[in-house]
Structure 1
Amino acid sequence: MTADAPKAPADLDAAALRRLLESGAGPRLIDVRTPGEFETAHIPGSHNVPLDLLREHRDELRAHLDEQVVLICHSGRRADQARQALAGAGLPGPRVLSGGITAWRAAGAPVATGRPRWELERQVRLVAGSLVLASVVASTAYEPAKWIAGVVGAGLTFAALSGTCAMGMALARLPYNRGPRTDIATVLGALVKEHR
Protein backbone atom coordinates (compact mmCIF):
# COMPACT_ATOMS: atom_id res chain seq x y z
CA MET A 1 0.00 0.00 0.00
CA THR A 2 1.41 3.38 -0.95
CA ALA A 3 1.19 6.53 1.10
CA ASP A 4 -1.25 8.00 -1.46
CA ALA A 5 -3.71 5.08 -1.33
CA PRO A 6 -6.81 5.81 0.76
CA LYS A 7 -7.37 3.57 3.74
CA ALA A 8 -10.51 1.47 3.75
CA PRO A 9 -12.79 2.39 6.65
CA ALA A 10 -12.93 -0.01 9.54
CA ASP A 11 -15.97 -2.20 10.03
CA LEU A 12 -18.49 -1.07 12.62
CA ASP A 13 -19.72 -3.05 15.58
CA ALA A 14 -23.35 -2.82 16.65
CA ALA A 15 -22.69 -0.24 19.38
CA ALA A 16 -20.79 2.10 17.04
CA LEU A 17 -23.47 1.88 14.35
CA ARG A 18 -26.19 2.51 16.90
CA ARG A 19 -24.38 5.67 18.11
CA LEU A 20 -24.07 6.91 14.52
CA LEU A 21 -27.76 6.32 13.83
CA GLU A 22 -28.83 7.98 17.08
CA SER A 23 -26.69 11.03 16.27
CA GLY A 24 -28.99 11.80 13.34
CA ALA A 25 -26.15 11.81 10.82
CA GLY A 26 -26.08 8.08 10.38
CA PRO A 27 -24.94 6.29 7.24
CA ARG A 28 -27.18 4.72 4.63
CA LEU A 29 -27.90 1.11 5.53
CA ILE A 30 -27.92 -1.52 2.77
CA ASP A 31 -29.05 -5.01 3.79
CA VAL A 32 -27.84 -7.60 1.27
CA ARG A 33 -29.80 -10.59 2.59
CA THR A 34 -32.66 -12.20 0.69
CA PRO A 35 -36.02 -10.38 0.70
CA GLY A 36 -37.43 -13.12 2.93
CA GLU A 37 -34.65 -12.70 5.50
CA PHE A 38 -35.05 -8.92 5.34
CA GLU A 39 -38.81 -9.16 5.82
CA THR A 40 -38.33 -11.34 8.90
CA ALA A 41 -36.10 -8.82 10.72
CA HIS A 42 -34.11 -5.78 9.69
CA ILE A 43 -32.67 -2.57 11.06
CA PRO A 44 -35.27 0.22 10.76
CA GLY A 45 -34.43 2.55 7.89
CA SER A 46 -32.33 0.00 6.02
CA HIS A 47 -32.82 -0.80 2.33
CA ASN A 48 -32.94 -4.35 1.01
CA VAL A 49 -30.59 -4.87 -1.93
CA PRO A 50 -30.06 -8.66 -2.18
CA LEU A 51 -26.45 -9.61 -2.91
CA ASP A 52 -27.23 -11.07 -6.36
CA LEU A 53 -29.09 -7.88 -7.34
CA LEU A 54 -26.25 -5.73 -6.00
CA ARG A 55 -23.65 -7.66 -7.98
CA GLU A 56 -25.70 -7.47 -11.16
CA HIS A 57 -26.44 -3.74 -10.88
CA ARG A 58 -23.43 -2.48 -8.93
CA ASP A 59 -22.63 0.30 -11.41
CA GLU A 60 -26.20 1.66 -11.27
CA LEU A 61 -26.18 1.46 -7.47
CA ARG A 62 -22.77 3.14 -7.31
CA ALA A 63 -24.28 6.28 -8.82
CA HIS A 64 -26.68 6.51 -5.84
CA LEU A 65 -24.29 5.62 -3.02
CA ASP A 66 -21.45 7.44 -1.34
CA GLU A 67 -18.82 6.35 1.16
CA GLN A 68 -21.32 6.70 4.04
CA VAL A 69 -22.77 3.23 3.50
CA VAL A 70 -22.94 0.33 5.93
CA LEU A 71 -23.57 -3.11 4.47
CA ILE A 72 -25.54 -5.63 6.53
CA CYS A 73 -26.23 -9.35 6.27
CA HIS A 74 -26.81 -12.21 8.68
CA SER A 75 -23.23 -12.57 9.96
CA GLY A 76 -21.01 -10.31 7.84
CA ARG A 77 -19.87 -12.69 5.09
CA ARG A 78 -22.31 -11.63 2.36
CA ALA A 79 -21.88 -7.99 3.32
CA ASP A 80 -18.13 -8.35 2.77
CA GLN A 81 -18.83 -9.85 -0.66
CA ALA A 82 -21.07 -6.85 -1.40
CA ARG A 83 -18.27 -4.48 -0.30
CA GLN A 84 -15.92 -6.18 -2.77
CA ALA A 85 -18.49 -5.86 -5.56
CA LEU A 86 -19.01 -2.15 -4.85
CA ALA A 87 -15.26 -1.59 -4.63
CA GLY A 88 -15.03 -3.12 -8.11
CA ALA A 89 -17.51 -0.45 -9.25
CA GLY A 90 -15.37 2.34 -7.76
CA LEU A 91 -16.93 2.76 -4.31
CA PRO A 92 -14.00 2.30 -1.91
CA GLY A 93 -15.58 3.22 1.39
CA PRO A 94 -18.53 1.00 2.40
CA ARG A 95 -18.32 -0.43 5.88
CA VAL A 96 -19.69 -3.74 7.08
CA LEU A 97 -21.66 -4.27 10.28
CA SER A 98 -19.45 -6.77 12.13
CA GLY A 99 -21.47 -9.81 13.07
CA GLY A 100 -24.39 -8.63 10.92
CA ILE A 101 -27.99 -8.56 12.07
CA THR A 102 -27.13 -11.34 14.54
CA ALA A 103 -24.77 -9.04 16.47
CA TRP A 104 -27.23 -6.13 16.13
CA ARG A 105 -30.01 -8.17 17.75
CA ALA A 106 -27.67 -9.55 20.43
CA ALA A 107 -26.81 -5.95 21.38
CA GLY A 108 -30.51 -5.26 22.00
CA ALA A 109 -30.66 -2.70 19.19
CA PRO A 110 -34.02 -1.93 17.55
CA VAL A 111 -35.27 -4.32 14.85
CA ALA A 112 -38.31 -4.12 12.59
CA THR A 113 -39.91 -7.55 12.35
CA GLY A 114 -42.29 -9.22 9.95
CA ARG A 115 -43.19 -12.77 9.01
CA PRO A 116 -40.95 -15.16 10.98
CA ARG A 117 -38.70 -17.50 8.98
CA TRP A 118 -35.68 -19.63 9.76
CA GLU A 119 -32.37 -18.02 8.81
CA LEU A 120 -30.86 -19.38 5.61
CA GLU A 121 -27.85 -20.78 7.46
CA ARG A 122 -30.15 -22.73 9.79
CA GLN A 123 -32.03 -24.13 6.78
CA VAL A 124 -28.72 -25.28 5.25
CA ARG A 125 -27.82 -27.06 8.48
CA LEU A 126 -31.22 -28.79 8.53
CA VAL A 127 -31.08 -29.96 4.90
CA ALA A 128 -27.40 -31.00 5.02
CA GLY A 129 -27.86 -32.83 8.33
CA SER A 130 -30.99 -34.57 7.08
CA LEU A 131 -29.23 -35.72 3.91
CA VAL A 132 -26.27 -37.08 5.87
CA LEU A 133 -28.52 -38.85 8.39
CA ALA A 134 -30.74 -40.33 5.66
CA SER A 135 -27.75 -41.54 3.62
CA VAL A 136 -26.13 -43.20 6.65
CA VAL A 137 -29.40 -44.96 7.55
CA ALA A 138 -29.97 -45.96 3.91
CA SER A 139 -26.40 -47.30 3.67
CA THR A 140 -27.33 -50.07 6.13
CA ALA A 141 -29.58 -51.51 3.40
CA TYR A 142 -27.79 -50.18 0.32
CA GLU A 143 -24.08 -49.64 1.05
CA PRO A 144 -23.31 -47.12 -1.77
CA ALA A 145 -25.79 -44.62 -0.22
CA LYS A 146 -22.98 -43.61 2.15
CA TRP A 147 -21.46 -41.60 -0.70
CA ILE A 148 -24.32 -39.11 -0.46
CA ALA A 149 -22.98 -38.16 2.98
CA GLY A 150 -19.53 -37.76 1.41
CA VAL A 151 -20.86 -35.47 -1.30
CA VAL A 152 -22.69 -33.33 1.27
CA GLY A 153 -19.54 -33.15 3.40
CA ALA A 154 -17.45 -32.13 0.39
CA GLY A 155 -20.00 -29.43 -0.48
CA LEU A 156 -19.94 -28.03 3.05
CA THR A 157 -16.13 -28.05 3.04
CA PHE A 158 -16.07 -26.19 -0.28
CA ALA A 159 -18.65 -23.71 1.06
CA ALA A 160 -16.48 -22.98 4.10
CA LEU A 161 -13.30 -22.53 2.06
CA SER A 162 -14.83 -20.47 -0.75
CA GLY A 163 -17.32 -18.39 1.22
CA THR A 164 -20.12 -19.49 -1.12
CA CYS A 165 -22.81 -22.08 -0.56
CA ALA A 166 -24.62 -23.70 -3.47
CA MET A 167 -27.20 -25.23 -1.12
CA GLY A 168 -27.85 -21.85 0.48
CA MET A 169 -28.27 -20.21 -2.93
CA ALA A 170 -30.72 -22.94 -3.97
CA LEU A 171 -32.71 -22.65 -0.73
CA ALA A 172 -32.86 -18.85 -1.11
CA ARG A 173 -34.84 -19.36 -4.33
CA LEU A 174 -37.60 -21.36 -2.64
CA PRO A 175 -40.95 -19.55 -2.30
CA TYR A 176 -40.62 -19.74 1.51
CA ASN A 177 -37.49 -17.57 1.36
CA ARG A 178 -38.36 -15.16 -1.41
CA GLY A 179 -40.41 -12.62 0.49
CA PRO A 180 -41.58 -9.50 -1.32
CA ARG A 181 -40.19 -8.98 -4.81
CA THR A 182 -37.17 -6.69 -4.91
CA ASP A 183 -36.07 -5.22 -8.23
CA ILE A 184 -33.51 -2.58 -9.18
CA ALA A 185 -36.11 0.06 -10.11
CA THR A 186 -37.73 -0.19 -6.66
CA VAL A 187 -34.36 -0.07 -4.91
CA LEU A 188 -33.14 2.95 -6.89
CA GLY A 189 -36.46 4.73 -6.34
CA ALA A 190 -36.16 4.27 -2.58
CA LEU A 191 -32.54 5.46 -2.57
CA VAL A 192 -33.38 8.59 -4.57
CA LYS A 193 -36.42 9.34 -2.38
CA GLU A 194 -34.37 9.00 0.82
CA HIS A 195 -31.58 11.24 -0.53
CA ARG A 196 -33.95 14.19 -1.08
Structure 2
Amino acid sequence: MPDITTTELKQRQQAGETPHIIDVRETWEVEESRIPGSQNIPLGTLPQQLDDLEELKDREVIVHCKSGARSASAKAYLTQQGFTNVRNLEGGMLAYQAQ
Protein backbone atom coordinates (compact mmCIF):
# COMPACT_ATOMS: atom_id res chain seq x y z
CA MET A 1 0.00 0.00 0.00
CA PRO A 2 1.19 3.52 -0.68
CA ASP A 3 1.96 5.66 2.34
CA ILE A 4 -0.35 8.49 3.37
CA THR A 5 0.45 12.19 3.63
CA THR A 6 -0.52 14.32 6.59
CA THR A 7 -2.64 16.43 4.23
CA GLU A 8 -4.67 13.41 3.12
CA LEU A 9 -5.09 12.17 6.69
CA LYS A 10 -6.23 15.55 8.00
CA GLN A 11 -8.68 15.97 5.10
CA ARG A 12 -10.17 12.57 5.83
CA GLN A 13 -10.45 13.36 9.54
CA GLN A 14 -12.13 16.69 8.80
CA ALA A 15 -14.59 14.82 6.56
CA GLY A 16 -15.58 12.70 9.55
CA GLU A 17 -13.62 9.56 8.68
CA THR A 18 -12.08 7.62 11.55
CA PRO A 19 -9.29 5.49 10.10
CA HIS A 20 -7.56 3.10 12.51
CA ILE A 21 -4.32 4.85 13.50
CA ILE A 22 -1.61 3.10 15.50
CA ASP A 23 1.00 5.31 17.16
CA VAL A 24 4.18 3.23 17.60
CA ARG A 25 5.99 5.84 19.71
CA GLU A 26 6.79 5.27 23.37
CA THR A 27 4.09 6.09 25.93
CA TRP A 28 5.94 9.18 27.19
CA GLU A 29 6.02 10.59 23.65
CA VAL A 30 2.28 10.10 23.26
CA GLU A 31 1.67 11.90 26.56
CA GLU A 32 3.27 15.01 24.98
CA SER A 33 1.17 14.95 21.79
CA ARG A 34 -1.11 12.57 19.94
CA ILE A 35 -3.33 12.30 16.89
CA PRO A 36 -6.94 12.24 18.12
CA GLY A 37 -8.35 8.71 18.15
CA SER A 38 -5.00 6.99 17.69
CA GLN A 39 -4.10 3.80 19.54
CA ASN A 40 -0.70 3.68 21.24
CA ILE A 41 1.26 0.46 20.75
CA PRO A 42 5.01 1.10 21.19
CA LEU A 43 6.99 -0.57 18.39
CA GLY A 44 8.78 -2.92 20.80
CA THR A 45 5.46 -4.31 22.06
CA LEU A 46 3.83 -4.76 18.65
CA PRO A 47 4.51 -8.53 18.41
CA GLN A 48 2.73 -9.11 21.74
CA GLN A 49 -0.30 -7.09 20.57
CA LEU A 50 -0.91 -8.94 17.29
CA ASP A 51 -3.81 -11.01 18.63
CA ASP A 52 -5.61 -7.80 19.63
CA LEU A 53 -5.24 -6.45 16.08
CA GLU A 54 -6.47 -9.58 14.27
CA GLU A 55 -9.75 -7.97 13.14
CA LEU A 56 -7.76 -5.24 11.35
CA LYS A 57 -5.86 -7.59 9.01
CA ASP A 58 -7.97 -6.64 5.97
CA ARG A 59 -8.82 -3.08 7.01
CA GLU A 60 -6.81 0.08 6.47
CA VAL A 61 -4.33 0.65 9.29
CA ILE A 62 -2.27 3.85 9.43
CA VAL A 63 0.93 3.66 11.48
CA HIS A 64 2.94 6.64 12.65
CA CYS A 65 5.78 7.66 14.93
CA LYS A 66 7.76 10.86 15.40
CA SER A 67 9.37 11.10 11.96
CA GLY A 68 8.40 7.96 10.03
CA ALA A 69 11.30 5.56 10.68
CA ARG A 70 9.79 3.41 13.44
CA SER A 71 6.43 3.35 11.69
CA ALA A 72 8.13 2.17 8.48
CA SER A 73 9.44 -0.78 10.53
CA ALA A 74 5.94 -1.32 11.96
CA LYS A 75 4.43 -1.28 8.45
CA ALA A 76 6.96 -3.87 7.23
CA TYR A 77 6.34 -6.08 10.28
CA LEU A 78 2.54 -5.93 10.04
CA THR A 79 2.68 -6.63 6.31
CA GLN A 80 4.85 -9.70 6.99
CA GLN A 81 2.23 -10.83 9.50
CA GLY A 82 -0.51 -10.80 6.86
CA PHE A 83 -1.95 -7.29 7.21
CA THR A 84 -3.06 -6.25 3.72
CA ASN A 85 -3.64 -2.49 3.97
CA VAL A 86 -0.98 -0.83 6.15
CA ARG A 87 0.01 2.76 5.38
CA ASN A 88 2.81 4.79 6.96
CA LEU A 89 2.13 8.45 7.80
CA GLU A 90 4.82 10.32 5.83
CA GLY A 91 6.91 12.52 8.11
CA GLY A 92 5.16 11.22 11.22
CA MET A 93 4.05 13.41 14.10
CA LEU A 94 6.52 16.15 13.17
CA ALA A 95 4.82 16.62 9.79
CA TYR A 96 1.33 16.26 11.30
CA GLN A 97 1.99 19.01 13.84
CA ALA A 98 3.68 21.27 11.27
CA GLN A 99 0.49 21.54 9.21
TM-score over 0.5 for the pair: yes
Aligned twin of 1:34: 26
Q: Give the counterpart of 1:64 among 55, 79, 83.
A: 55
Aligned twin of 1:73: 65
Q: Is the 8 A contact 1:75 1:99 kept in 2?
A: yes
Moved over 4 A (4+): none
Q: C-alpha distance in 2, partners of 1:61/1:83?
A: 16
Structure 1 position 93, deviation (Å): 1.1
Structure 1 position 15, deviation (Å): 0.7
Change beyond 3 A, Cα 1:20–1:93: same
**Per-residue Cα deviation, 1:3-47 (whole angstroms, up to 9, x for no partner):** xxxxxx211111100011112223111100000001111111111
How many residue pairs match? The answer is: 98
Q: Is 1:22 the equivalent of 2:14?
A: yes
Q: Is the 8 A contact 1:54 1:61 kept in 2?
A: no
Structure 1 position 85, deviation (Å): 1.3
From the CA coordinates, give the structure whose radius of gyration is larger: 1
Aligned twin of 2:47: 55
Q: C-alpha distance in 1, partners of 2:52/2:80?
A: 12
The two structures, once aligned, show a CA RMSD in angstroms of 1.3
Structure 1: runs of 5+ lacking an equivalent: 1-8, 108-196
**Per-residue Cα deviation, 1:97-151 (whole angstroms, up to 9, x for no partner):** 10000000011xxxxxxxxxxxxxxxxxxxxxxxxxxxxxxxxxxxxxxxxxxxx
Q: Which letter does structure 1 place at the counterpart of 2:11?
A: R
SS in 1 for 2:55: coil
Structure 1 position 55, deviation (Å): 2.6
Structure 2: runs of 5+ lacking an equivalent: none
TM-score under structure 2 length normalisation: 0.90
Structure 1 position 61, deviation (Å): 3.5
Aligned twin of 1:179: none
Higher strand share: 2
SS in 2 for 1:42: coil
Structure 1 position 83, deviation (Å): 0.9
Q: Relative CO higher for 1 or 2, CA cutoff 8 Å, sep ≥ 6?
A: 2
